[in-house]
């Protein structure tokens, strides 16, 4: 299955070209307000360069997950600007934002979000569905990504046949199968035991060492302290 070859479909699967510059993500005076007058993020300015490994750390309710949604173009700010690879997200159509996200940004979430009735290979391949590539190429990239995270012998396993650490590795493989320039990990060890969590963090460091810019959202200050840059949040603001 591939997307139809219409002008709208092509726009939806072709990411805007990167604009030259050292900064991958730039937030300027960004605020995000929700109904009821709740301000989740307030006047945040932040720059993240290509190749950085950054922890965004703070307690529950500090605004760090909202920051992930804004940086990852899953949400738009109420005020201020968010730029990714030089593009002001506010100036892009929804289709172009979706294409940028599909081609340039990978996501790893605490809850794994794996389809129960699909194999590890299918779960990873399905993450490439909206890139417009063929099923054969999706399967090839999925197998490469699963091999990269140490699961070459688990391609045909269903999620319930995998440990928690292995399920998170499948989720990471799905996130990196499209070779994103930016990987966002939201509490990636939150549902794992200590040993599995350490293994996942070691894998994320390996991906960073191979060239991926990585932002880890965490409440765990020990994890944050182990990363080269920390951005501390409290009450929606960067401390």
SS3 (DSSP) at 121? helix
Whether the per-residue pLDDT at 3 is higher than 70: the answer is: no
Give the length of the chain.
Answer: 239
Over range 87-98, report the average pLDDT.
Answer: 92
Mean pLDDT of 142-162: 96
**What would the mean pLDDT of 137-163 be, rounded to a whole number?**
95
pLDDT band at 16 (very low <50, low <70, confident <90, very high): confident
pLDDT confidence tier of residue 17, bands split at 50, 70 and 90: confident
More confident: 134 or 130? 134
pLDDT of residue 19: 67
State the fold for domain 7-13+21-238. Rossmann fold (3.40.50)
Res 7: pLDDT: 47
Q: At what angle do helices 164-176 and 135-148 cross, to 10 degrees?
A: 130
Q: Does residue 194 have a pLDDT over 50? A: yes
Average pLDDT of the residues of the chain? 90
Q: What is the pTM of this model?
A: 0.87
Put the strands of the sheet holding 23-34 in their side by side order. 38-49, 23-34, 79-84, 87-88
Q: Where are the domains of the chain?
A: 7-13+21-238
CA angle 70, 71, 72 (to 5 degrees): 90
Alpha carbon distance 44, 28 (integer Å): 6
**CA dist., res. 178 & res. 1, Å (int):** 17
Q: Are 9 and 3 in contact (CB under 8 A)?
A: yes
How does strand 105-109 pair with strand 182-186?
parallel
d(CA 214, CA 18) in angstroms, rounded, equals 18
**Phi then psi dihedrals of residue 199, to 5 deg:** -65, -40
| Distance separating alpha carbons of residues 161 and 120, to the nearest angstrom | 10
Task: Please give the helix or strand (H or E) that residue 54 lies within, else none.
Answer: strand 53-57
pLDDT > 70: percent of the chain: 92
Q: Choose among 171, 165, 60, 175: nearest CA to 107.
A: 175
Quick one: pLDDT at residue 5?
53
- Return the closest-CA partner of residue 169 out of 151, 182, 155: 151
Please write the tens of the pLDDT for every residue from 33-67. 998 889 999 999 999 999 999 999 999 999 999 99
The CB density around residue 201, as the number of other CB atoms within 10 Å, is 20
What's 153's DSSP letter?
G
26 contacts 19 by C-beta, under 8 angstroms: no
């Amino acid at each position: 299955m591939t997307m139809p070859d219409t002008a709208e479909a092509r726009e939806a699967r072709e990411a805007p070209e990167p604009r030259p510059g050292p900064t991958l993500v730039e937030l300027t005076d960004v605020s995000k307000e929700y109904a009821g007058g709740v301000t989740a993020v307030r006047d945040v300015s932040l720059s993240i360069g290509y190749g950085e490994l950054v922890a965004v750390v703070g307690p529950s309710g500090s605004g760090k997950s909202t920051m992930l949604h804004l940086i990852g173009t899953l949400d738009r700010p109420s005020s201020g600007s968010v730029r990714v690879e030089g593009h002001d997200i506010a100036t892009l159509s929804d289709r172009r934002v979706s294409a940028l996200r599909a081609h340039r940004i990978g996501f790893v979430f605490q809850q794994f979000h794996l389809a129960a009735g699909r194999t590890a290979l299918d779960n990873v391949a399905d993450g490439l569905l909206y890139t417009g590539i063929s099923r054969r190429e999706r399967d090839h990239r999925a197998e490469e990504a699963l091999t990269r995270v140490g699961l070459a012998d688990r391609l045909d396993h269903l999620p319930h046949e995998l440990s928690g650490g292995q399920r998170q590795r499948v989720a990471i493989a799905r996130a990196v199968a499209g070779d994103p320039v930016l990987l966002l990990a939201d509490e990636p060890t939150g549902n794992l035991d200590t040993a599995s969590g350490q293994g996942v963090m070691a894998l994320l460091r390996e991906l960073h060492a191979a060239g991926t810019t990585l932002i880890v959202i965490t409440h765990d200050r020990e994890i944050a302290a182990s990363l080269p840059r920390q951005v501390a949040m409290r009450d929606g603001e960067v401390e």
